A and B are shown apart, each in its own frame.
Chain A
Amino acid sequence: AQSVAQPEDQVNVAEGNPLTVKCTYSVSGNPYLFWYVQYPNRGLQFLLKYITGDNLVKGSYGFEAEFNKSQTSFHLKKPSALVSDSALYFCAVRFNTNAGKSTFGDGTTLTVKP
């Protein structure tokens, strides 16, 4: 069975500092990995994905993530955080052998303080 872990419920950073939101996964085979962001009372917005190729993936709003197969991680990063980045972030894994279902992590609340 596939699973996704986001070990931190909450991440707090100061504006202008780098941020990291962690994600690890447990799957068999080659996963498709995603990061989504959710603002209050809204649906999820796509940030970036890893399908294949370069392990460093760049996405929307200056976010990037690095796929690390040996550590089974896909941490989300941004060099300089903005207050507007404050939101709930979800890591997800997807397989085409599982009827296209996604498995989501429990989410990490990012708070960027001015």
Chain B
Amino acid sequence: GAVVSQHPSWVICKSGTSVKIECRSLDFQATTMFWYRQFPKQSLMLMATSNEGSKATYEQGVEKDKFLINHASLTLSTLTVTSAHPEDSSFYICSADLRGQSTDTQYFGPGTRLTVL
């Protein structure tokens, strides 16, 4: 149980285009999802907290107009990287909480490798 999927697993795009990454909780409802980015051999950097039915909460320094987050249902959150540039190339990982259990285990997706040419 508690499986989180991400799609796509990897994507290559041209500079200036937009890319959408989906995060789905497959067998549970997730009130809250988190989006992270990870650089090679580094820790996870929290970008934003995605709450179902409300606006995402962004961490300091993360441009909300560039990284659009939509949490339209209890099983789906999307991250759209708008007008992508090479510096946006990274590994993006989402995680989800079991509904109502914000202090318990986070369940992570497998990650999405974004390469912007």
A residues touching B (Cβ–Cβ < 8 Å)?
32, 34, 36, 41-46, 49, 51, 88, 90, 94-96, 99-102, 104-107, 109
Residue of B43, B57, B97 ringed by the most chain A CB atoms within 10 A: B43
A107 contacts B43, CB within 8 Å?
Answer: yes
Residue positions of B touching A, CB distance < 8 A: 4, 6, 32, 34, 41-44, 46, 49, 57, 91, 93, 95, 97, 102-111, 113
Which of B42, B43, B57, B109 touches A43 (beta carbons < 8 Å)?
B109
Q: CB distance A90 to B102 under 8 Å?
A: no
Leading 10 A-B pairs by shortest Cβ distance = A100-B102, A43-B108, A44-B108, A96-B103, A43-B110, A43-B111, A106-B43, A104-B43, A43-B109, A32-B103
For the complex formed, measure the closest distance between the CB of A82 and the CB atoms of chain B, giving whole angstroms: 22
Q: Across the interface, do B108 and A45 meet the contact criterion of CB distance under 8 Å?
A: yes
Q: Which residues of A contact B46 (CB under 8 A)?
A: 101-102
CA gap between A36 and B34 in the complex, in Å: 16
Do B49 and A100 have beta carbons less than 8 Å apart? Answer: yes
Chain B, Cβ-Cβ closest to A92: B106
